[in-house]
Amino acid sequence: MAVRVLMPKGSDTMTEGKVLKWLKQEGEHVSSGDAVVEIETDKVDMEVETNGEGVLRQVLVREGQTVPVGQLLGVIAPPNEDISAMVKEGQAAPPPAAHAEAKPAPTPKAAAPTPAEQKSAPPVAVGAPSVPPTPPKAHGEAAAPEAEAAPATRAPRDTAIPTRELAASHPAVSAGRDGGRVLASPLARRIAKEKGLDLSQVAGSGPGGRIVREDVDRAVATMETEAAAPAAIRAAASSRPAVQGVAVRAPAAARPVFVPGGPEVHDEPLSTMRKTIAARLSQSLGPVPHFYLTIEVDMRRAMELRESANNLNPDLKLTYNDIIVKAAAAALRAHPEVNASFVGDAIRTYSRVHIGVAVPVDGGGLITPVIWDCDQKSLQQISREAKDLIARARNRKLNPDEYTGATFSVSNLGMMGIEEFSAIINPPESAILAVGALVEKPVVTDHHVGIGHRCRLTLSCDHRVVDGATGARFLQTLKSILENPVYLAF
């Protein structure tokens, strides 16, 4: 039976995607669970797998092309099956908007068809756009605003779907070192082979302990970090001193240098992510009536908390941002009217607190991984989860359900020396907190001048939802928590 490979819908904000690389070539055999094509969405790069089997008969969208969600990318079918009608349909106009915006539910495991059913069933459209299921949590996205999610629909059986979904439903088995059997998804097994990683040494987080791509990515990152540690130490010893609190990043790709007689300008096409950022933020600052509130916080006790926690547990590596995120979650619980959205003819207040943390992406752009239920998690849980999400966000390795659903966002530029700034709200959220640098400065306390450690926090508010007094009370509570962080232990 022929299987359509379609441009999947990686998130509710995604309207188009770019084909980066075909992992299978025309005429090549494709097995169930094989990654067929790598695409660029508005947030991440992802591989699309198929649970169909046959030959990649025809590629309709070449590498580098951008097409709408739901567009036919290629056809997988037995060598002798007629696919002319399917190809002609795919070369016609792109699918209607309603179809492209549909958000199918996870592909169910269907019973294998009987020989009679196989014989009578005609080639069908089986590649509806798919996205990993979003848990029943509050709606909203931080890095790029998302529209109201469309009702879930049932996906057909032979759907080409994103990696994470298939990792759970199509495990692969490889032999362990001890002769046992290791459960792993086909993609995880392929990446492990490329990186020289022994899967028997990797703990699986998928259903039944299966090893999925995220497990392999973490193991590879750990392996590379351990291998690079001696070199990094030598390099640090010989390098110039770094600015305190600023992470040194690899330089961006070199820009063209002006040569007399050569071109004076260079136009670089927008990436899919940059297009989305441009569109969404234009929709935010214009229609959303922003106003800004700034407060200065004494961070001395937060500094003591961080130092004590890291001394007790050196592996924790608690950051100021972890503390601020946890404190913001507690303040949102105390002021639920800030944990809300404007939805046309109503104000929607969320009962759960999901905080997005803005992260710059390698190669340009911004994404906001989401820490769910922040108010219910300990500082240790938030710290560990944030580090994992941020590391994978920088490499564009997040899954769609890891960067959608925020009800409030935190953007921190303090590590870059920025003392104060105003962030743009990411609809449908009603507020975003901009965090400046922790600064040592003279302060007056009880009529005496001394040395203090201060941080300026700026809350951007949607005036349709949050009034000035409401935002001010939220900041007062946040300030009180940060200046008395023992509150976070309760």
Per-residue pLDDT at 248: 38
Instruction: Identify the band that residue 270 occupies on the pLDDT scale cut at 50, 70 and 90.
Output: low
Per-residue pLDDT at 276: 67
More confident residue, 177 or 7: 7
User: CA-to-CA distance for 463 and 184, rounded, in angstroms?
Assistant: 49
Instruction: Identify the band that residue 327 occupies on the pLDDT scale cut at 50, 70 and 90.
Output: very high
Look at residue 191 and tell me whether its pLDDT is greater than 70.
yes
Instruction: Identify the band that residue 339 occupies on the pLDDT scale cut at 50, 70 and 90.
Output: very high
Q: Which residues are catalytic?
A: 463
In this predicted model, what pLDDT tens digit does every residue of 28-42 receive, in sequence order?
Answer: 888 888 888 888 876
User: CA-to-CA distance for 48 and 5, rounded, in angstroms?
Assistant: 8
Q: Which of 27-36, 82-91, 461-470 has the highest mean pLDDT?
A: 461-470
Residue 424 corresponds to which tokens in the numbers above? 């743009």
Instruction: Identify the band that residue 109 occupies on the pLDDT scale cut at 50, 70 and 90.
Output: very low
Mean pLDDT to the nearest integer, 39-63:
82
In this predicted model, what pLDDT tens digit does every residue of 3-13 receive, in sequence order?
Answer: 888 888 876 66
Percent of the chain with pLDDT over 90: 33
Per-residue pLDDT at 297: 97
Percent of the chain with pLDDT over 70: 67
Instruction: Identify the band that residue 335 occupies on the pLDDT scale cut at 50, 70 and 90.
Output: very high
Per-residue pLDDT at 79: 85
Per-residue pLDDT at 189: 79
Instruction: Identify the band that residue 265 occupies on the pLDDT scale cut at 50, 70 and 90.
Output: low
HSE at residue 436, side-chain half, CA atoms within 13 A, is 19
In this predicted model, what pLDDT tens digit does every residue of 112-155 receive, in sequence order?
Answer: 444 444 434 444 333 433 333 344 343 333 333 333 333 333 33
Burial of 66 (0-12, 13-18, 19+ CB in 10 A): middle
The beta-strand segments (E) located in 44-185 are 45-50, 54-59, 66-68, 72-77, 103-104, 152-153, 160-162, 172-175, 181-184
Instruction: Identify the band that residue 88 occupies on the pLDDT scale cut at 50, 70 and 90.
Output: confident
Residue 343 corresponds to which tokens in the numbers above? 């939805």
In this predicted model, what pLDDT tens digit does every residue of 382-439 receive, in sequence order?
Answer: 999 999 999 998 888 888 889 989 999 999 999 999 999 999 998 889 999 999 999 9
Per-residue pLDDT at 239: 44
The identity of residue 77, as a single letter, is: A
Burial of 240 (0-12, 13-18, 19+ CB in 10 A): exposed
* Complete domains list, the chain, with CATH: 3-163 (2.40.50.100), 286-489 (3.30.559.10)
Look at residue 296 and tell me whether its pLDDT is greater than 80.
yes
In this predicted model, what pLDDT tens digit does every residue of 207-259 receive, in sequence order?
Answer: 567 787 777 877 877 776 555 544 444 444 444 443 333 343 444 445 556 56
Per-residue pLDDT at 277: 60
More confident residue, 193 or 105: 193
Per-residue pLDDT at 194: 78
Contacts of 57 (CB under 8 A, 6+ apart): 26, 27, 74, 75, 76, 77, 79, 81, 83
Q: pTM for the full model?
A: 0.53
Look at residue 313 and tell me whether its pLDDT is greater than 60.
yes
Instruction: Identify the band that residue 169 occupies on the pLDDT scale cut at 50, 70 and 90.
Output: very low
Question: 467: how many CB neighbours lie within 10 A of its CB?
Answer: 13
HSE at residue 94, side-chain half, CA atoms within 13 A, is 17
Q: Among all chains, which residue has been given the structure tokens 């756009």?
A: 129
Instruction: Identify the band that residue 320 occupies on the pLDDT scale cut at 50, 70 and 90.
Output: very high
In this predicted model, what pLDDT tens digit does every residue of 349-363 receive, in sequence order?
Answer: 999 999 999 998 876
More confident residue, 382 or 60: 382
Beta bridge pairs of residue 454: 298, 439
Least confident of 7-11, 46-50, 159-163, 335-339: 159-163
User: CA-to-CA distance for 53 and 158, rounded, in angstroms?
Assistant: 9
